[in-house]
Chain A
Amino acid sequence: MSDAITVTALGRTFGDFHAVRDVTFDVRRGEIFGYLGANGAGKSTTIRILCGLLAPTSGRAVVADADVARDPEAVKRRIGYMSQKFSLYPDLTVRENLDFFGGAYGLYGRRLREKIDAVLAEVGLTAQRDATTGSLPGGWQQRVALGNSLLHDPDILFLDEPTAGVDPASRREFLALVRRRARAGATVFLTTHYLDEAEYCERIGLMAAGRLVALGTSAELKARHVPGRVLLARTTRPAELRAALAPRPDVLAAQTWGSGVRLRVRPELSPSALASLVTALDATASLEPAEASLDDVFAAVTTGAA
């Protein structure tokens, strides 16, 4: 069985501007793939190419076994798309919106009604079916949009910054819904600039300035791009401790982090040596192990790329 998405040396220019250049990756079936990057890094351009909204200027993308440049119509039947820009009609009710987009996918009659009932139950908005979509809170609108993109049971779900501007609780709920769909067999391609959202993804592609600069699972990325061990030194005087540790060559990074200092040190520096070093500088400090975050990866990779 081939991959859900195969992207080979993909590029897109707007005039002289390279929005996406030489990007290669693939997404396995049933995987949640996170496409991570700052605004303007080329995430939206990539997802638009994959959905057939934009033609690539170089390279090739195969989505659901169809070439997006040659047969975008075949792609469209197999995918669901949901954008950061809320794109349902705010003046229509939830039901009318679903009716319309279901119709756009060629669903009608009893089958359409059943599908609408099913997705409303899935996203937990059955009671809101006759509410005007624009009057719902942001998180609920996002869930309606998700339900909308699921009406025709797509093989691949494209979510373009789906939770932008939504509160953390709604975001978690939303991601739980996405995960449930993935477990049921759908492939999910999700762009985001929230690092915690990327942790929900099985694999992550990291974009910077139009290039794919890192690719792998969260653990792989951390191991590859954030060498060393990460520790947290709790202290009452974090600023002084950071200033004292930062210049040392075996300390790769030191940041104040709440009531402590987050340290990334060379693996050669043993825990006991570090402990005595820290207590010598600050008697109140205590060390505890911490984990590298995607933030560290992001910082390491983008400084390297710049």
Chain B
Amino acid sequence: MKRLTNALRRTAAIAAKEVQHILRDPSTLYLAFGMPVVLIVLFGYGVSFDLDHAPLAVLDQDGTAQSRDLARSLTATREFEIVATPADAEGIERLFRSREASAALVISSGFAEHLRRGQEAPVQVLLDGSDGTMAQAVLGSATQLVAATIGTPPIEATATLLYNPALRSAVFFVPGLIAYVMAIAAVLLTALTVAREWERGNLELLFTTPVGRLEIVLGKLAPYLGLGLLQALLVLSVGTALFDVPIRGDLVLLFFAALLFLVGMLGQGLLISAVTRSQQLATQVGAISSLLPTLILSGFLFPIENMPWPLQVLANIFPARYFIDALRGILLKGAGLGVLWPDLAGMAAFAVFVLAVATLKFKRGVA
């Protein structure tokens, strides 16, 4: 009992010292609170797959009232803007090359006639495929609009979108973004501050005292965990307020998911610092190992299901995918523990593993 009290007391001394460091160093506070907001705003407004006045060329070979109605209907939602009305197909190609238009609507002659007889009316949508994401967005939107106008759908399958009916990018992005900024800040903060202590010999001095490895690790972790949770709250508030992201699920569950994710990320930072023992190296390894998995191996930008199997295996190791999955589930679908427990388990497994290795690596063996 007395041993435990002593251990707790020493851990508290380490945590208290860490808080003093954090409060004294403005760059820590910027990294924790300034950078995430900057990133969220940049990403939220800058990265968008939503169509906004996409330049459209219209080639109307029919020249009837119906064909003009169709062309006009595409511009009604402001997703498209008619920038040119070329006389022939070559005109369209010229517009694509000069990047004046990224989509073209071709209404062949006889459109109104076919429509009157109740036959399939020939309408063609041409896309500049050099920008794949843009082309997909245009295709989806144009088919929908054309179908709505003509009444008889030119495509057979109809899809109904759930959870994000307007398919707004922000709704999809914000959960990923939250995971992204939390990962970077948590890994970099711990990797940097602890590597600095290795460099300066602070840890060496600490190792000559009766303080144990686990006490050091826990004492360091606790303040940054608090900082990370505050950051999660900030990022979530900014994300939901600026981009109208709904919170349909349980906030307590969200808190626990964030906690598990943070412990894993902080452990990763500790491990990096213990292995590299230099600030410069720790920064590089920390940035890459937090940035790439959350950006690429997480389902944030690219669906994991479409990756080759070695990358899928990697994606299953890094906790980012579980956290993003949990965030999307809780925020957008209102999913509960019954559905999300595998995500929580995945994050917990990573956290336990990485903390155990980091504690072992925190050896006294100073060269």
Interface residues of A, Cβ cutoff 8 Å to B: 14, 48, 51-55, 72-73, 76-77, 79, 81-83, 85-92, 96, 99-106, 108, 158
Contact = CB atoms under 8 A, between A and B. Distances in A.
B192 to A, nearest CB: 14
B12 A105 contact: no
B210 A87 contact: no
Given A54-B364, A73-B210, A100 B13 contact: yes
B207 A86 contact: no
Given A77-B210, A96-B17, 13 more contacts: A73-B210, A81-B205, A82-B205, A83-B201, A87-B201, A87-B202, A87-B205, A88-B205, A92-B17, A96-B20, A100-B14, A102-B13, A106-B6
A204 to B, nearest CB: 24
A53 B21 contact: no
Q: Is the interface of B mostly helix, strand, loop or mixed?
A: helix
B307 interface: no
Given A48-B366, A83-B201, A88-B202, A104 B21 contact: no
Interface string B172-213: 000000000000000000000000000011101111111100
A25 B10 CA distance: 35
Nearest to A72: B364
A104 B204 contact: no
A125 B14 CA distance: 24
A85 B205 CA distance: 9
Interface in B349-367: 364-367
B210 A105 contact: yes
B25 interface: yes
A270 B86 CA distance: 120
Given A86-B201, A103-B9, A104-B13, A91 B206 contact: no
A257 to B, nearest CB: 38
A5 to B, nearest CB: 15
Contact of A89 (B13, B17, B208): B17
Contacts of B365: 53-55
A217 to B, nearest CB: 28
A63 to B, nearest CB: 11
B16 interface: yes
Given A76-B209, A106-B210, A53 B204 contact: yes
23 contacts: A52-B208, A54-B366, A79-B208, A82-B205, A83-B201, A83-B204, A83-B205, A85-B200, A86-B201, A87-B205, A88-B202, A89-B21, A89-B202, A91-B24, A92-B20, A99-B16, A100-B14, A100-B16, A101-B205, A103-B12, A103-B16, A104-B10, A104-B210
Contacts of A87: 200-202, 204-205
Interface in B245-291: none
Nearest to B207: A53
B198 to A, nearest CB: 11
B217 to A, nearest CB: 14
Nearest to A45: B367
Contacts of B206: 101, 104
Contact of A106 (B9, B207, B366): B9
A130 to B, nearest CB: 13
B208 A76 contact: yes
B209 A101 contact: yes
Given A91-B24, A106-B6, A106-B10, A53 B208 contact: yes
A100 B204 CA distance: 15
Contacts of A103: 9-10, 12-14, 16-17
B286 to A, nearest CB: 21
Contacts of A158: 208
B347 to A, nearest CB: 32
Contacts of A102: 13
A91 B21 contact: yes
A91 B202 contact: no
A104 B202 contact: no
Contacts of A96: 17, 20
B208 A81 contact: yes
A100 B14 CA distance: 7
Interface string B6-33: 1001101110110011001100000000
Closest 10 CB pairs of A and B: A103-B13, A87-B205, A81-B208, A85-B201, A87-B201, A104-B209, A100-B17, A104-B211, A76-B210, A51-B208
B94 to A, nearest CB: 64
B10 A53 contact: no
A69 B13 CA distance: 27
